[in-house]
């Protein structure tokens, strides 16, 4: 039996409505998958940091200019496997940060394009002696979190250079408290959640990053 034009239009309209209902769910599922993969990256980084600290009795360097190229993501390289690339791959890049370039190929976002996480500013920023013995509250002390890729160190939302990037759960590569240049094109500044890993190894989806979780003292 042949369909009439009106019946075909009704079917097309129903398909359109169903697609409109399903697409947001698929997008959320995709974002959730990337968030889980990001959390796994951070879990590997915190384990690598703990092993590094056990071997060297000090945490990796956050930012000590006179000691470059020694810096946390290079110092952790031997602890995260040979397949990890310090310049744009492996556990140092959040899958949600990947952005299409002019040729359509996916490249890491962020200012430099090779780093999606940063280390707590309270850990060896301008010094190189901070170790686990200085941490009074491992459960409440942030180690790494999603960032905009500008700095090696991570700063709280109240800092003038706040760079925790809330790219998950609907956020984008512009979702920081400080607007800086990233590979985000014209994406809107919509805040979602940021993955953060603490020194005891647990991971949280952060809505805010107060200075309280940066300090090494027990709050």
Domains of the chain, by residue range, sit at 5-213
Long-range contacts of 95-104 (CB under 8 A, 24+ apart): 95/34, 95/37, 95/38, 96/31, 96/34, 96/35, 96/38, 96/167, 96/168, 97/146, 97/149, 97/167, 97/173, 99/173, 99/183, 99/184, 99/185
pLDDT tens, residue order, the chain (219 aa): 555 767 667 667 777 766 566 555 555 566 677 889 999 999 999 999 999 999 999 999 999 999 999 999 999 988 987 666 666 578 888 988 866 556 655 566 666 677 899 999 999 999 999 999 999 999 999 999 999 888 999 999 999 999 999 999 888 888 888 876 555 555 667 889 999 999 999 999 999 999 999 999 987
Q: What is the DSSP string of 61-112?
A: PSB-GGGTT--HHHHTGGGS-TT--TTT-GGGS-GGGEEE-TTS-EEE-SSS
Beta bridge mates, 125: 63
């Amino acid at each position: 039996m042949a369909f009439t034009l009106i019946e075909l239009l009704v079917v097309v309209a129903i398909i359109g409505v169903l697609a409109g209902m399903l697409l947001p769910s698929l997008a959320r599922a995709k974002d959730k998958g990337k968030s889980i993969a990001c959390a796994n990256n951070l879990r590997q980084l915190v384990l690598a940091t703990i092993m590094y600290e056990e071997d060297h009795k000090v945490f990796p360097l956050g930012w000590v200019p006179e000691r470059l190229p020694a810096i946390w993501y290079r110092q952790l390289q031997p602890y995260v496997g040979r397949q990890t690339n310090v310049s744009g791959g492996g556990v140092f890049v959040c899958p949600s940060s990947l952005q299409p370039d002019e040729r359509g190929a996916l490249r890491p976002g962020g200012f430099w394009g090779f780093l999606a996480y940063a280390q707590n500013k309270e850990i060896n920023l301008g010094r190189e002696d901070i170790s686990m013995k200085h941490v009074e509250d491992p459960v409440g002390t942030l180690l790494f979190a999603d960032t905009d890729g500008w700095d090696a160190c991570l700063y709280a939302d109240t800092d003038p250079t706040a760079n925790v990037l809330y790219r998950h759960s609907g956020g984008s590569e512009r979702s920081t408290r400080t607007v800086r240049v990233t590979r985000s094109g014209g994406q809107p500044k919509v805040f979602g959640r940021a993955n953060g890993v603490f020194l005891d190894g647990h991971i949280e989806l952060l809505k805010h990053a107060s200075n309280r979780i940066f300090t090494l003292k027990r709050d």
